Amino acid sequence: MNSFIPFIGLEIHIELKTKSKMFCQCSANYFKKDPNSHVCPVCLGLPGALPVPNKQAVEWTMLVGKALNCTINPTSKFDRKHYFYPDLPKGYQISQYDEPFAINGKVRMQNTEYGIQRVHLEEDTGKLTHSGENTLIDFNRSGVPLMEIVTEPDFHNSEEVKKFLEELQVIIRYVRVSDADMEKGSMRLEPNISLSLTGELPEYKVEVKNINSFKFVKQAIDYEIKRQAEILDKGEIPPQETRGYSELEHATYSQRFKEQAHDYRYFPEPDIPPMKFSPQEIGKIVEHIPELPMVKILRYTDKLKLKYQDAYIITRSRMLSEYFDSIVTHLPEEAQKVANLMIHKRIHSDLSPEEFIKKAREIFTPISTDMNILSEKINQVIHANSKAVADYNSGKQNAIMYLVGLVMREMKGKADAKTVRQELEKAIKK
Amino acid sequence: MSIFGKSIVELTRLVQEKKIGKRELFEYFKKRIAKYNPNLNVFITLPEYKEHVNYGSLLGIPLAIKDNFCTKNIRTTASSKVLDDFIPPYESTVTQKLLNEGAGILGKTNMDAWAHGNSTETSDYGPTRNPWNINRSPGGSSGGSAAAVSAYLSPAAIGSETAGSIRQPASWCGIVGIKPTYGRVSRYGVVAMGSSLDSPGPLTLTVEDSAYILKILAGKDPYDATSSPVPVQDYLSIMKQKKKFIIGFSDEYFEGVNEEIKTKILAALDIFRRLGHTTKKIKLISPKYAISVYTIIQRAEVSSNLARYDGIRFGNDRRSFGSEAKRRLMFGAYTLSYGYYDAYYKKAQKVRTLIIEDFKRVFSEVDAIVAPTCPITALKLGEFKKYPFFGEIMDVLNEPGAVAGLPAINIPVGLDSSSLPIGLQIMGRHFEEGSLLNLAHQFEKETEFFGIIKKGLEKYKDE
């Protein structure tokens, strides 16, 4: 058996959560809505209807491009991609072919850098439901803005892919352009896989279409690596093809070969004039980009001396990390402690930052204990609970916590729990 | 009160002064249609009378609308059986603007199916006949609209042009027709043919009527991203100004043109000179190059635009496409195919740019270009079969301007020896429809179009 180097690239589709659809004014929020209730002549592809691009979607695509360190193209255009399918009402999808909004980006994760080929914008299709002999079409999803991110084939194993996708999902949520929710289908994954013996990019590739979980992507890639290796071991080259993934069988299956590949007959969409963006316009669109998770982790570990694992957890959500930031500015010396409180939910992050800070300060400041009152209360508790004392003396460690609790209650909380325990133990041993 | 032959501007005044009722006007044309339509086959669908608003600059004016404009709740077929049952749930911007001004929809006019052709013979509802001679074609694709005006079955009509589809039928039916600059009038709701070329416009009895209607139709439409924000000129007042222009004419536009037509165009140039305009010989890229550019781009766009009629919706499937549509689908799909795109579509776009640049150069020397609209007068029905590409050659003189997106107007300048109208076209700079209307109006005032429009109406006089 030869040892091969897998080359894996990714195509990721993300539905943008704009209010309206990509080319019309219908609501883009189609989730669980009555079939064909969010439709109009444009997204139904009626004769004579014309697309008018959604400015917000265009700007968000540029924003994502920027977040992935891409070059934003000063000129861009839409193209028509032709194929026949019942969920595609115009017989073509408005997409972008040779002038996407963003190109040549990269995502840095710890020590590795992954190339981003392009980020472009297109429209989603309708949805087919097969029931018995009938197929029903729901056009609510037709025309919802769909962003496509294409990576370079820079991944060499499925674990790397999974980590990257998780990071990408967080980035997308940071810039707040999509929920990137796999279950709702607002994030869809298509890995392409090939194996190389020499370390050079192979000439063939196998695409696996439309996977809707990180786990399944990983499984599909692992399956493909094994399948292709077996073919290569026989001295053959795996055919270039598109495959599907069966979640039940944990296996990929052939859908269509290269010879059956579509000729999409791309040409510039004549209904939408080409777009031009000045550096000022681009600057304005991308200026609100937040501090991204990887940068935040660096800052947390370097400047705030957080443990990497804690920094990682906090940066998974932009809301949580910004909440953390707003607290840590007031408690700069206690960053790690704040992180602990937050991660272990000792203080709930539903509180306002002010309330959180107040509570945290209480925890951080030891409570002064009146030793005279304490000794009096301890004596009372020992006398009144001789059974618990006996339990403790006979080795039941739990009994001490019960007694500490009782003393704390007697002290009405005005005592430091650690001191109470020490004093209690001393008193019992006497 | 005699209504016969009155222009839109005249009728509007009569309605406003309550000398004619709105309903009365509608019924007047309805009656004429009942009488003449069986012979002429102008209309495909005739809706009932309906009032929309009770005010506006076209209050009570019934208009004939080419059947590729979507009209809400009124069947719209584009003269193809594929859309035989199609009743649009929405209104095109053009018809909406007309309805907003108080106009009524008198009927939907016959055309070449999908606007593919220039004779109305590709219509799945039979050809329209030329009111001048019912054995002749009215031209096309807006042939029904042109015939409706020429026989006064409608006081004016709306058509659309991709390359010649307003000018050529206006020319063959002896009326006025203006193809506005691409992007001047919204395409929203117009069944798309060549998306980068389609331009809706009016066909009328007078230049003033064209100016009057164009003013209503023109302007930026939020539903059409290719519609232009350039401010709309006040066509009516510009039309009446005493302007002097430098008019260009080019030998390239007289090649292969029938002698009788040539003579009338040259005579018209004399009249323009007499009116104080300067004429200047110019050199333009031969219009024959525009044929290939236009054919490739338009077919490519057609093959894409017709993809939605896949048989899943709209009632009828692809078997209902006529042979011309099928030919265009195949041709267009071929030029866009992998490996052929650069050789055809991309190259065509490059030549298109050359043609645009060529016009730009010429328009720095002259204000307008005068040329014949068509190399011949109305053909006999059936004669088109002799010409390749269903008579693309008929539009050779219209295609360069269309490819460049220029505005152009057709006016009648004479009759040939068979007593068929001859049309002259004036092309102008982008968004300068005002200049074209001004020149055409000066010519109209001077000549009354030699009585051609009146003569055309004669046969269809009320008894």
Q: How confident is the model at residue A414 (pLDDT cuts 50, 70, 90)?
A: confident
What is residue B385's predicted lDDT score, i.e. its pLDDT? 77
CA distance A81 to chain B (A): 9
Q: Which of A41, A51, A84 sits opposite B310 (nearest CB)?
A: A84
Q: Which of A50, A265, A267 sits opposite B187 (nearest CB)?
A: A50
What is residue A359's predicted lDDT score, i.e. its pLDDT? 87
pLDDT, tens digit, 9 for 90 and up, residues B138-197: 999 999 999 999 999 999 999 999 999 999 999 999 999 999 999 999 999 999 999 999
Token representation of residue A285: 């669109």
What is residue A398's predicted lDDT score, i.e. its pLDDT? 82
User: Percent of chain A at pLDDT above 70?
Assistant: 99
Residues of B with CB under 8 A from a CB of A: 68-70, 76, 78, 83, 86, 88-90, 92, 187-192, 195-196, 222-226, 300-301, 303-304, 306-308, 310, 312-314, 333, 336-338, 341, 345
pLDDT, tens digit, 9 for 90 and up, residues B262-280: 999 999 999 999 999 999 9
- Within the 228-257 window of chain A, which residues sit less than 8 Å (CB to CB) from chain B? none
Number of inter-chain CB pairs under 8 A, A vs B: 96
List of residues 6+ apart from B68 with CB closer than 8 A: A48, B76, B78, B79, B111, B114, B115, B160, B190, B191, B193
Q: In 3D, which of A98, A93, A50, A104 has the Cα closest to residue A75?
A: A98
A35-39's contacts with Cβ under 8 Å and 24+ in sequence apart are A35/A136, A35/A138, A35/A140, A36/A137, A36/A138, A36/A139, A36/A140, A37/A140, A38/A140, A39/A139, A39/A140, A39/A142
Which residues of B carry out catalysis?
Answer: 66, 141, 165
User: Percent of chain A at pLDDT above 90?
Assistant: 74
CA distance B310 to chain A (A): 8
Cis before B337 (ω within 30): no
- Across the interface, whether the CB atoms of A90 and B307 are under 8 A apart is answered yes
| Burial class (CB within 10 angstroms; exposed 0-12, middle 13-18, buried 19+) of A29 | middle
Q: How confident is the model at residue A259 (pLDDT cuts 50, 70, 90)?
A: low
Q: How confident is the model at residue A182 (pLDDT cuts 50, 70, 90)?
A: very high
- Across the interface, whether the CB atoms of A266 and B337 are under 8 A apart is answered no
What is residue B388's predicted lDDT score, i.e. its pLDDT? 62
Token representation of residue B8: 């839109």
Q: What angle do CA B131, B137, B141 make, to 5 degrees?
A: 105
- Residue A29 gets which letter from DSSP? -
As for the ipTM of the complex, it is 0.96
Token representation of residue A199: 């370390």
pLDDT, tens digit, 9 for 90 and up, residues A96-133: 999 999 999 999 987 899 999 999 999 999 999 998 99
Instruction: Output the CA torsion A196→A202→A208→A212 (10° steps).
Output: 70
Q: Rounded to the nearest 5°, which phi and psi values hold at B414?
A: 165, 175
Which residue is it, tokens 């060499």? A156
Interface test with chain B among A21, A98, A265, A275, by most B beta carbons within 10 Å? A265
Q: Cα(B184)–Cα(B197) distance, rounded to whole angstroms?
A: 11
Q: How far is CA A88 from the centre of its chain?
A: 28
Kindly provide the b/e burial profile for residues B263-277, where b requires at least 16 CB atoms within 10 angstroms of the residue's own CB.
ebbeebbeebeebeb
Does the reported pTM lie above 0.95?
Answer: no
Q: Which of B192, B310, B314 sits opposite A48 (nearest CB)?
A: B192
- Across the interface, whether the CB atoms of A271 and B195 are under 8 A apart is answered yes
- Across the interface, whether the CB atoms of B337 and A49 are under 8 A apart is answered no
Hey, is A214 helix, strand or coil?
A: helix
Q: How confident is the model at residue A288 (pLDDT cuts 50, 70, 90)?
A: confident
Q: In 3D, which of A256, A224, A225, A252 has the Cα closest to residue A240?
A: A256
What is residue B407's predicted lDDT score, i.e. its pLDDT? 98
Parts of chain B with a pLDDT under 70:
388-392
Mean pLDDT (whole number) for A188-209:
95
- Across the interface, whether the CB atoms of B310 and A91 are under 8 A apart is answered yes
What is residue A405's predicted lDDT score, i.e. its pLDDT? 86
- Residue B105 gets which letter from DSSP? E
What is the average pLDDT score of chain A? 93
The residues that bridge with A245 in the sheet, in sequence order, are A252
Interface test with chain A among B221, B304, B329, B334, by most A beta carbons within 10 Å? B304
Chain A residue with minimum CA distance to B301: A270
CA distance A168 to chain B (A): 33
Q: E strands of B220-277, at which residues? A: 246-250
Q: Cα(A299)–Cα(A291) distance, rounded to whole angstroms?
A: 10
Hey, is A76 helix, strand or coil?
A: strand
- Across the interface, whether the CB atoms of B304 and A82 are under 8 A apart is answered yes
Chain A residue with minimum CA distance to B336: A265
Helix-strand-coil split of chain A, %, nearest 5: 40, 20, 40
Q: What angle do CA A259, A264, A270 make, to 5 degrees?
A: 165
Q: Which of B191, B303, B310 sits opposite A47 (nearest CB)?
A: B191
Collect all residues of chain A within an 8 Å Cβ-Cβ radius of residue B337.
263, 265
Q: Cα(B438)–Cα(B242) distance, rounded to whole angstroms?
A: 8
Q: Cα(A293)–Cα(A296) distance, rounded to whole angstroms?
A: 5
Which residue is it, tokens 């203080």? A347
| Burial class (CB within 10 angstroms; exposed 0-12, middle 13-18, buried 19+) of A319 | exposed
CB atoms within 10 A of CB A203: 9
Q: E strands of A247-377, at which residues? A: 251-257, 267-268, 275-276
What is residue B81's predicted lDDT score, i.e. its pLDDT? 97
What is residue A395's predicted lDDT score, i.e. its pLDDT? 83
Q: At what angle do helices A318-328 and A353-364 cross, to 10 degrees?
A: 60
- Across the interface, whether the CB atoms of A265 and B76 are under 8 A apart is answered no
Kindly provide the b/e burial profile for residues A112-137, where b requires at least 16 CB atoms within 10 angstroms of the residue's own CB.
eebbbbbbbbbbbbbbeeeeeeeeeb
CA distance B307 to chain A (A): 5
Collect all residues of chain A within an 8 Å Cβ-Cβ radius of residue B310.
84, 86, 91
Q: Cα(A98)–Cα(A79) distance, rounded to whole angstroms?
A: 8
